[in-house]
Amino acid sequence: MKIAKVFWISGSILVNVTVVAYIWLQSGAPARFAERMEYMNSNWNEYGYHWRAEFLLMSLIAIGAFYFAVRFRDAGWSIVTLGQVITLATYPIMLGGYRNTPLEMSTAANQIVTVTSVFGQSLFYFGLVWIYFYDELFPNWLRTLSVIFAGVFSLAFFGVFLELWDFKQMMIIGPIGIILNFINAYYGMKLE
């Protein structure tokens, strides 16, 4: 239990660093996809290390969630785990499909990564809604806030999956995700 908690807590906190790092990396990237791929390749060390670090942190979160799903026999944790595993499938595609590849290949890789990651993250956050809705560890105000934040993110990612909006429109709610990651870490500390 202790190692699962350490994985869940550390992954949930440190993934915020990768979110901020990605925003910083993308701040200098051109808007057009072809030019963005050239920029990414010219800054591959930063992007490659970023995705490797995020891959590791997301794996820690998945391992913690899997342990909790088995230990607590809880459908919410199972959904969180499934969402993370689906999302994890995108990292090898980014690491292998973007670096020095023809534009057609990187375009295809990007489309696969986008649809896979937004679906996985939609499931991840839906699982959190389930967990927090039935939670008895948090005070009511924090439980309610957690359900709302996770619900907003689940719907937002699902909206991107359905092509109702895109990631740029989701940036508006980005700070909520960072707060929710800290809430997730705090929840991990309370689990017994």
Mean pLDDT of the chain: 95
1 pLDDT exceeds 90?
no
| Lowest mean pLDDT across 3-7, 81-85, 165-169 | 165-169
Tell me how far CA of residue 12 lies from CA of 9, 56, 64, 168, in angstroms.
5, 12, 10, 23
Average pLDDT over residues 23-35: 91
**Residues 75-100: tens digit of each pLDDT:** 999 999 999 999 999 999 999 999 99
pTM: 0.94
Contact 125, 86 (CB under 8 A): no
**Residues 95-149: tens digit of each pLDDT:** 999 999 999 999 999 999 999 999 999 999 999 999 999 999 999 999 999 999 9
166 pLDDT exceeds 90?
no
Give the structural domain span for 73: 2-190
- Number of domains, the chain: 1
Tell me how far CA of residue 102 lies from CA of 13, 38, 96, in angstroms.
36, 10, 12
Query: Can you say how many angstroms the Cα of residue 74 is from the centroid of all Cα atoms in its chain?
Result: 21
Average pLDDT over residues 49-71: 97
What is residue 170's predicted lDDT score, i.e. its pLDDT?
85
Q: What are phi and psi of 161, to 5 degrees?
A: -60, -40
